[in-house]
Amino acid sequence: MSIQDTIRETVTSNPVVLFMKGSPTFPQCGFSARAVQIIKACGIAKFAAIDVLQDPEIRQGIKEFSSWPTIPQLYIKGEFIGGSDIMTELYQNGELQKMLEGVAAE
């Protein structure tokens, strides 16, 4: 399976996926830490977190998958939502909470 197929499978088989640097417990980057905080603030306790620092192929592959040059990257039900700036904006205007409503229970 190619790395793009692996990524596609990851984002479609998990309702909420965050590609980040480090883990939710020990984020290795301030932007990734903020992304985790926002997801938790939306009431999502369980989500798939992929540490790109563990795999150079995924680290490069995810940038190509979404045509987005930076990490973190949030996916909800297979759809690319954005990085930490966009997550912050969507959280502040209440849209992210709506997008995540009921998703984790699926």
Which of 46/98 has CB closer to other proteins?
98
Candidate segments 11-19, 25-33, 39-47, 97-105, binder of other proteins by CB under 8 A: 25-33
- What is the end-to-end Cα distance of the chain in Å, rounded? 26
> Is 70 near other proteins (CB under 8 A)?
yes
Residue by residue, DSSP assigns 56-101 as: HHHHHHHHHHHT--SS-EEEETTEEEE-HHHHHHHHHTTHHHHHHT
Helix (H) or strand (E) holding 27: none
Tell whether 29 is in a known binding site: yes
Binding-site annotation: residue ranges = 29
Binding site for other proteins (CB under 8 A): 21-22, 28-31, 53, 67-70, 80-83, 85-86, 89-90
